[in-house]
Amino acid sequence: MPYRICKTIDIENGHMLSKHPDACRFPHGHTRRIEFVLESDTLDARDMVCDFKVIKDAVGAYLETLDHALCVNTADPAYAEWRARYGERIVPFENQDPTTEVLARRIYDLAAARLATGAEVAGARYPLRPVVRLIRVRVWETASSWAEYVREEPPGRD
């Protein structure tokens, strides 16, 4: 059984779902809790899967771009005007609604790529071994609702 750790980061984030039939099609916000679960079959020389700081270092700057920002489908008629008016605080989602599911996948992909790059840094203050795996990213939309993206199990793993 592998060891697992979870790091959560909270942000304030808005979105609008242009394909939604009800009120969610209008701009609205959430206090989002984002969970990152990593695992390893072994512990490092410090008796850890990895330091929690590794996760913040890998994704912190990206999550800041989402904090106090509005995620918008680029196909929405208001997108261009809002982007011109509010700049980078309008976060584009290319021809798709920025649902919590889509956001979880986007954050997962970014975290996985940055963690893989971080594993290659020799002599890092907070080392990350190549055997550490990002298992899932869970994004809470409310206190009772979340979506997650889970990595696929590699072949041959029980």
pLDDT in tens, 134-152: 999 999 999 999 999 998 7
Integer distance in angstroms from the first to the last C-alpha of the chain? 10
- Residue 22 in any domain: the answer is yes
pLDDT digits (tens, 9 = 90+) for 115-138: 988 777 777 788 899 999 999 999
- Residue 156 in any domain: the answer is no
Q: What is the CATH number of the domain that holds 121?
A: 3.30.479.10
- Residue 49 in any domain: the answer is yes
Its domain, for residue 24, covers 3-150
- Residue 137 in any domain: the answer is yes
Please list the active-site residues.
Answer: 24, 68, 141
Q: What is the pTM (predicted TM-score) of this model?
A: 0.91
